[in-house]
């Protein structure tokens, strides 16, 4: 983590990419347990944590919002999704097609975060070269 205001976007994107990486593992675990009786799918809550942090900054200016976010407060949480719901008689609530769709969506987000981080560094490099 870089501790300068110039890197606020990069730090938040880094947190988002890290959360997305963790979510990828959680989804893979859900897929691996698709046939395990009484297994309940897990998920990761990061996007809501980020939205909450953005709304608590008290400003409409995006740069100030990003600058005012405390990175230590951006902690994703793992939770059991639809704990009381089961798709099958064995108590499992994992749907393989849904998990594969979540996995594809999450992978796209992860690569988008990495691409955005690279673009931020490219911008900084361009400014330093002038």
The parent domain of residue 48 ranges over: 5-129
Under 8 Å between Cβ of 45 and 76: yes
Residue with tokens 């600058």: 67
Q: What is the DSSP string of 25-78?
A: HHHHHHHHTTTSTT---EEEE-HHHHHHHHHTT--S-HHHHHHH--GGG---EE
Does the predicted model carry a pTM greater than 0.85? no
Under 8 Å between Cβ of 19 and 46: yes
The per-residue pLDDT string of the chain (130 residues; one tens digit each, 9 = 90 and over) reads 555 566 788 888 999 999 999 999 999 999 999 999 999 999 999 988 888 888 876 777 777 777 777 777 788 999 998 778 787 899 999 999 999 999 999 999 999 999 999 998 998 888 888 7
CA torsion through residues 65, 71, 73, 78, sign: positive
Dihedral, 11, 14, 20, 25 alpha carbons, nearest 10: -130
**Burial of 37 by CB count in 10 Å (0-12 exposed, 13-18 middle, 19+ buried)?**
exposed
Count structural domains, the chain.
1
Tell me what pLDDT residue 56 has: 77
Tell me what pLDDT residue 4 has: 55
């Amino acid at each position: 983590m870089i501790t300068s205001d110039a890197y606020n976007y990069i730090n938040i994107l880094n947190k988002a990419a890290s959360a997305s990486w963790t979510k990828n593992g959680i989804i893979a675990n859900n897929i691996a347990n698709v046939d395990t009786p009484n297994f309940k799918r897990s998920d990761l809550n990061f996007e809501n944590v980020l939205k909450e942090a953005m709304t608590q900054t008290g400003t409409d200016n995006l740069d100030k919002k990003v600058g005012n976010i405390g990175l230590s407060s951006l902690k994703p949480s793992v939770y059991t999704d639809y704990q009381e719901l089961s798709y099958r008689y064995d108590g499992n609530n994992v749907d393989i097609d849904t998990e594969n769709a979540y996995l594809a969506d999450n992978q796209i987000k992860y690569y988008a975060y990495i691409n955005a981080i690279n673009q931020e560094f490219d911008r900084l490099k361009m400014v330093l070269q002038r």
